[in-house]
Chain A
Amino acid sequence: MLKALAMDSYLLADAKTVLAQAKAGDPAGFEALYRAFEIPVYNLCRRICRTAEDAEDVLQETFLEICRSIGQYREDGSLWGWIRSIAASKALMRLRRNKYRDTDELNDEVVAHRREDTHLRMDLEAALERLSETSRAVVWLHDVEGYTHEEIAVMMGKTPSFSKSQLARAHARLRRWLGEEVAA
């Protein structure tokens, strides 16, 4: 919460004025919100969605939702926290809608085989990209955005245990793909 409040003032110095403008339906207020939060929202969406195009669509949907429902933001929590929850929810909705084929198991075998042959190490960006959508979403929401397993469970319509096991499995894979086992 404190971190999210700090993000507010970092991203949007004149938050009160901009919020008042946006709540009055002034397009200048909406644009100021967009410019301030475009990059963090896009990063969240891009880390969850499979493609950049999907992430950009979710970015657009997120800001449309913000413009529609800014009146419901009561200013008792951080603005970034509120915006982030809309973005995360839209991105997860996009995942469910697209129903991408989960290629985790296949990737596991391929990468394990490759590692034996070449000792190839992937970089973190590539390894993260290679995780299944669900695992990647859990890793990002938990480890980077700071959501709890209970919050992730609510957003995904699953149980906290599901979130915990996804996170552990994802880290086991990342460790393997990053070649960290060699050092162990």
Chain B
Amino acid sequence: MHLSMEQLVALREPGAEPGTQTARSHLDECETCRAEFDRLHQRIARLKALPSLRPTRDRWPEVRAQIGVERRARRLRRFGLVGLAAAASVAMVVGVRNLRQPHTDAVPAELSEAMARSQALEAAIDRYHPESRVLDGRTARIAQELEDRIATVDRELQMTDLMDSGRRETQELDLWRERVGLLDALVDVHLTRASTAGL
């Protein structure tokens, strides 16, 4: 009775399991099993020596783009919190101004609306968890481009603090509207990709 493959494979393991000693004694005496054991060793050596395989294309650009998307998403989330605070302060300013100026001022109301819309879109993107998705190269590039433009808008929004109040409100409204448009496009990019991929 020769050794089974289970016994031969077990003989390669370090440490003695029950039955290993008996199997080893058999191996010493049986030429057929020794030949089989040698073939097992040779097969494993050949497995280790199989030629190295290479990916068909470089995946680094996708990895880099995705890291960029995640970083910007984190920054957006941080900015989103700042945005909420800004929206609250605008609402407060509007409230104070309305106490002093009973006439309707359309700009701050529109500004608040744009900020709220921006928050809603960011929440929608958050729910999609873009950082946990693998994007194809084209989608990643478009998403990255949009997020770069959003980052530019964010920087310009920060610069509006230096403007006089009248000009600042108009400028802020334009920028927040642009931000909403860009976020809208970003949502579309992710949703299109998700529906195409059946996610």
Contacts and interface: CB of A to CB of B under 8 A. Distances in A.
Interface of A: 27, 30-31, 34-35, 38-39, 42-43, 46, 52, 55-57, 59-61, 63-64, 67-68, 124-125, 128, 139-140, 143-144, 149, 164-165, 167-169, 171-172, 174-175, 178, 180, 183-184
Nearest to A63: B63
A125 B134 contact: no
Contact of B5 (A57, A172, A178): A172
Report, nearest first, the 7 A-B pairs whose CB atoms are least far apart: A168-B6, A172-B5, A168-B5, A60-B59, A143-B44, A63-B63, A168-B9
A125 B50 contact: yes
B53 A164 contact: no
Interface of B: 4-6, 8-10, 13, 32, 35-36, 39-40, 43-44, 46-48, 50, 52-57, 59-60, 62-64, 66-67, 70, 134
Contacts of A139: 47
A124 B67 contact: no
Contacts of A180: 39, 43
Contacts of B62: 60
Contacts of A59: 55, 59
B12 to A, nearest CB: 9
Contact of A178 (B35, B43, B48, B57): B43
A63 B47 contact: no
Contacts of A38: 55, 59-60
B60 A42 contact: no
Main DSSP-derived SS at the B contact region: helix
Contacts of A55: 55
A30 B63 contact: yes
Query: For B10, B13, B53, which residue has the most chain A Cβ atoms within 10 angstroms?
Result: B53
B55 A165 contact: no
19 contacts: A43-B53, A56-B56, A56-B57, A60-B62, A60-B134, A64-B63, A64-B134, A124-B43, A124-B46, A125-B50, A128-B47, A143-B48, A144-B47, A144-B48, A168-B8, A172-B5, A175-B39, A183-B35, A184-B36
Nearest to A55: B55
Given A27-B64, A67-B63, A164-B6, A175 B53 contact: no
Nearest to B66: A64
B35 A184 contact: yes
Interface centre among B13, B50, B57 (most CB of A within 10 A): B50
Interface centre among A61, A67, A143 (most CB of B within 10 A): A143
Contacts of B60: 31, 34-35, 38, 63
Contacts of A171: 5, 8-9, 40, 43
A56 B55 CA distance: 6
Given A42-B55, A124-B50, 20 more contacts: A27-B67, A34-B60, A39-B54, A52-B55, A56-B59, A60-B134, A61-B134, A64-B67, A125-B50, A143-B44, A143-B47, A144-B44, A164-B6, A168-B4, A168-B5, A168-B9, A175-B40, A180-B39, A184-B32, A184-B35
A172 B2 CA distance: 14
Contact of B67 (A67, A143, A165, A167): A67
